Structure 1
Amino acid sequence: MQLLNTLYITTPESYLRLDNDTLRVELEREVRLRVPLHHLQAVVCFGHIALSAPLMHRLAEDSIALVLLDEHGRFKARLEGAQAGNVLLRRAQHLASLDADLSLELARSFVAGKIRNARSVLQRGAREAKLAAEAAQLTRLADDLAAGLRALPAAPDLNTVRGLEGEAARQYFAGLPWLVKTDLRADFAMQGRSRRPPRDRFNALISFLYALWMNDCRSALEAAGLDPQVGFLHALRPGRAALALDLMEEFRPFADRLALTLVNRQQLGAGDFVLREGGAVSLQPDARKAVLVAYQQRKQEEILHPLLAQPVPLGMVPLVQARLLARAIRGELEADGSRAGYLPFLAK
């Protein structure tokens, strides 16, 4: 497997065009960047970006995804070439989504991965806390998440699983502000999770990072031959990439960790955000670029995959998980003859 690059275009009024086998980025008629197409997996454009028709055709021919987001990172559209993947796998996926027992099993796995990884974030925060009272509070919240994990195997239906996930998220977000350094908490105060629009700086930051992870999870599912629209935990709705949302759940704490790093190391400050009328908060254009650079660097870091027992770049883990998910959906067998289940990626 090769970790290819995602090209993020954030400068308004940029113009992207095809130059032989190269993507060329121009601004005010000056060439700012050239990227060989064979190095790219996807091109992601934020806000008002123009593209030539020949470039769009070539991206589709080369199976390079073109993703259009608004300036805040919200999804607008996606251009792809001919449908890839194994039609038999997709049919198995569609049938699996109608199997209540299998859907419940997969939903439990997605939520278990999310809670385990979220608990790891709180436990690390408790170990690094300067004050005993804060360490105790974070430990208590981590214990509450453990209780939710223990309840998952007995959850009788999807609504119960979703309820456990929602309660775990509430407990987790109650603890997340304690992981911001004390002298930065006034600027990065957080009263629970808010989105559409984010109501504080930290929520604006994690919403942007979640959008990046969402795009990568969707691309991984398509590369594995799965239909990102047909999920198990998230309900099916027109226009919703339900399976991409399912897969993304276990990666949300990775986005939160990066957000905390950027804030606590003061790579982002209060001035890197725009506070708009009505209470909405968003990242400044230069701050978005800084986040994208940090995100790309984090994806290059190698981590030990517990199932593969070998180092894997973090950016490849969604594809590994998508392939494991495809294996579970197909009903492939383990060495002992049991049916393969889906094992979420668990952070160390």
Structure 2
Amino acid sequence: MIKKTLYFGNPAYLSLRNAQLVIKLPEVENNNTLPEAIKRQSEVTKPIEDLGVVVLDNKQITITSGAMEALLENNCALITCDSKSMPVGLMLPLYGNTTQNERFREQLAASLPLKKQLWQQTIQMKINNQAAVLSICTKEESKCMHIWANDVRSGDPDNMEARAAAYYWKTLFADLNGFTRDREGIPPNNLLNYGYAILRAIVARGLVTSGLLPTLGIHHHNRYNAYCLADDIMEPYRPFVDKLVFDLYCQYGEDVSLTKDIKAALLSIPTLEVRINKKRTPLMIAVGQTTASLYKCFSGELRRIIYPEF
């Protein structure tokens, strides 16, 4: 079953009752002129087990320790946002699998050649998915992208990823003067930042559920990054976010900002339809298959990570 994403952009009081997330509005709770019956009717409850991602985007949100504990015990990713409404924090459970210790040891024991091969597969799929996005959005085939994907060697020592990225962004937003992919750059970089943050949380959640450490990457190894493996595994998924952002850019124009409607569209990322193992499935379910296959690569059961494609 696909887990739900909840977004809170207004003041709210979140608590736990009978395995349900109870949502109350402070303006209703603190209004002494309203009868208790109306206050009770204003409460909304959501089954904790149905939630996969919860986004907190208001400084006046209060959440109880019991609610946080229940969310984390059910492998829900809890995202907090800054004053600019950009995701700034991610809370995940410390354990998400019954054989956690065994899986940690197998991940830690992964050889360098294996990690280089897994990175090669990851970049090849990312570039091929980027080529598919260009074909869909620009109606033109980018044969060079497929050539670069085939030329990726173990560990990508030639940095084909960067070469493909430079061509990809220049071609995807060719009509947007001066566009480069930069966190602080012009729109729709703001949408890409937001979408990637949601995607990162989904992938990190999937890794924890599969009993893996999101910190220890197969390629990324920044000492200050707690989610190196999530950043690795999300690479082939980024083009699905890119396609969504491109559609929003075409709909709202080059000065698109993070409005309520835009955020609602980006929060649909977990339910985006992707093709994996020759079947159509929501992105969040696909991530679970990808992270499960990654563990099997570490354990020696598989030789390839299962990634989605268009």
User: Does the alignment pair 1:202 with 2:188?
Assistant: yes
User: Does the alignment pair 1:124 with 2:136?
Assistant: yes
| Matched positions, count | 294
Q: 1:85 to 1:239 in 2, by over 3 A?
A: farther
Structure 1 residue corresponding to 2:76, chosen from 57, 61, 64: 64
Q: For residue 10 of structure 1, what is the amino acid of its counterpart?
A: G
- Structure 2: runs of 5 or more not aligned: 29-41
Alignment of 1:222-261 (within 5 A): 222-261=208-247
1:109-149 Cα deviation digits (max 9, x unpaired): 1111110100111122332xxxxxxx5xxx4xx23322321
Using the TM superposition, give the Cα deviation of residue 6 of structure 1 relative to its aligned residue in structure 2, in angstroms.
Answer: 2.1
Contact 2:122 2:235 survives alignment (8 Å): yes
Q: For residue 111 of structure 1, what is the amino acid of its counterpart?
A: I
User: Does the alignment pair 1:344 with 2:304?
Assistant: no
Name the SS of the counterpart of 1:225 in structure 2: coil
Residue 42 of structure 1: aligned partner: 53
Residue 198 of structure 2: aligned partner: 212
Report the TM-score, using the length of structure 2 for normalisation.
Answer: 0.84
Using the TM superposition, give the Cα deviation of residue 62 of structure 1 relative to its aligned residue in structure 2, in angstroms.
Answer: 3.9
1:267-294 Cα deviation digits (max 9, x unpaired): x773x52xxxxxxxxx2xxx1x323432
Name the SS of the counterpart of 1:152 in structure 2: coil
Using the TM superposition, give the Cα deviation of residue 28 of structure 1 relative to its aligned residue in structure 2, in angstroms.
Answer: 3.0
Structure 2 residue corresponding to 1:18, chosen from 16, 19, 26: 16
2: CA distance, partners of 1:227 / 1:125: 36
Residue 144 of structure 2: aligned partner: 144
1: CA distance, partners of 2:71 / 2:138: 46
Structure 1 residue corresponding to 2:88, chosen from 39, 57, 75: 75
1: CA distance, partners of 2:57 / 2:200: 15
Structure 1 residue corresponding to 2:114, chosen from 95, 102, 111: 102
2: CA distance, partners of 1:112 / 1:38: 35
Name the SS of the counterpart of 2:86 in structure 1: coil
2: CA distance, partners of 1:343 / 1:38: 26
Q: For residue 17 of structure 1, what is the amino acid of its counterpart?
A: S
Q: For residue 124 of structure 2, what is the amino acid of its counterpart?
A: A
User: Does the alignment pair 1:166 with 2:162?
Assistant: yes
2: CA distance, partners of 1:214 / 1:207: 10
Residue 36 of structure 2: aligned partner: none
- Structure 1: runs of 5 or more not aligned: 128-134, 274-282, 333-338
Using the TM superposition, give the Cα deviation of residue 316 of structure 1 relative to its aligned residue in structure 2, in angstroms.
Answer: 1.1
User: Does the alignment pair 1:294 with 2:265?
Assistant: yes
Residue 4 of structure 2: aligned partner: 5
Residue 29 of structure 1: aligned partner: 27
1: CA distance, partners of 2:266 / 2:151: 34
Name the SS of the counterpart of 1:7 in structure 2: strand
Contact 2:77 2:90 survives alignment (8 Å): no
Contact 1:93 1:329 survives alignment (8 Å): yes
Q: 1:252 to 1:177 in 2, by over 3 A?
A: same
Using the TM superposition, give the Cα deviation of residue 214 of structure 1 relative to its aligned residue in structure 2, in angstroms.
Answer: 0.6
Q: For residue 233 of structure 1, what is the amino acid of its counterpart?
A: H
Alignment of 1:253-292 (within 5 A): 253-266=239-252, 270=255, 273=257, 283=258, 287=259, 289-292=260-263
Name the SS of the counterpart of 1:29 in structure 2: helix
Q: 1:302 to 1:125 in 2, by over 3 A?
A: closer
2: CA distance, partners of 1:149 / 1:245: 19
Alignment of 1:304-315 (within 5 A): 304-305=275-276, 307=277, 309-315=278-284
Q: For residue 43 of structure 1, what is the amino acid of its counterpart?
A: V
